[in-house]
Structure 1
Amino acid sequence: MLKKLLPTISLLFSLFMPSFAQDRGNIEIIKDPQIDTLVQKHIQSNQLQPTIEGYRIQIYFESGNQARTLANRIKERFEQIYPDKGAYLSFNEPYYRVRVGDFRDKISAEAFRQLLLQDFPNAFIVPDHVYFEKIEN
């Protein structure tokens, strides 16, 4: 009788044992207080400059002595023709470039590029960070 009772008790004990291992506990996270400061700065910078991955159309890309002057002229010409679209002049050594529009997808950018080709025949689509609130459909 003891030979049959001992395995049964062992089996019952082993079945109930895992339930005791599931005691709830507390986890204490030890971290540098500067992490919270950095996270807050990151949130604030994203609120100041909310950009996402998107597309723009590059209408000018040049280097040289007159590149800045020409880039400003191209940008002004674009703004006269399309006053409701954004135009962005940037310098990435040694090139000045003018990019226009804020498009979320390539299809929207391509539709606008087709319009631009009459005035800016060398226009092409480039991936860029675009302003979220200015996205054009």
Structure 2
Amino acid sequence: MSRLNIQILYKTLFFILVSSQISIAQQGNIKVEQDAKLPQLLEKRIDMSKNNELGERFKIQLYYGNNQKASNTITSFRSKFGEWPSEVVYETPNYKVWVGNFRNKLEADRALLKIKEQFPSAFIFKPERG
């Protein structure tokens, strides 16, 4: 073996020895301390999320304008699509027809594809919390 090969061999062995010692030294125990109320808070958040009390949902708006057309729009929607909740919401000066209560944008997008066939101006939005 040449002198260069022997040096490379020694360096490689040294590197392996050092790195194995470092990896052995990385073992240890982790202790997690948490407040006793944390599980209760997590459970409450899950319940609030299920009941839509957090406002982290998506809706589809079908119409905004006067009251009569909003009533006609929601009646038409309910006769064609019974699977999603719908409501007329008044925000000065317009009445708005809102549909659904979707957990994520993907669910809302799937519904929008079906709804747009009958209501082409429909769009997805996330209501402001208030």
TM bucket (normalised to shorter chain) is 0.5 to 0.7
Q: CA RMSD in A?
A: 2.0
CA distance in 1, matches of 2:123, 2:114: 12
CA distance in 1, matches of 2:52, 2:107: 20
Which residue matches 1:33? none
After TM superposition, the structure 1 = structure 2 runs for residues 1-137 of structure 1, keeping only pairs within 5 Å, are: 50-52=52-54, 53-62=56-65, 67-128=66-127
Structure number with higher relative contact order (C-alpha < 8 Å, ≥ 6 residues apart): 1
CA distance in 2, matches of 1:111, 1:81: 16
CA distance in 2, matches of 1:92, 1:116: 23
CA 1:60–1:94 in structure 2 vs 1: closer, same or farther (change >3 Å)? same
**SS at 2:126 equivalent:** strand
**SS at 1:72 equivalent:** helix
Q: Which amino acid aligns with 1:60?
A: Y
Q: Which runs of 5+ in 2 are unaligned?
A: 1-47
TM-score of the superposed pair, with normalisation by structure 2: 0.56
Of all paired residues, the percent bearing the same amino acid is 26
Q: Which runs of 5+ in 1 are unaligned?
A: 1-45, 130-137
TM-superposed CA distance for 1:93, in Å, is: 0.2
**Greater strand share, structure number:** 1
CA distance in 1, matches of 2:123, 2:97: 11
Q: How many residues align?
A: 79
TM-score of the superposed pair, with normalisation by structure 1: 0.53
**SS at 1:51 equivalent:** coil
Which whole-Å deviations, capped at 9, do the CAs of 1:75-122 have from their partners, x for residues lacking one? 011011111210010100001100101101111101100111110000
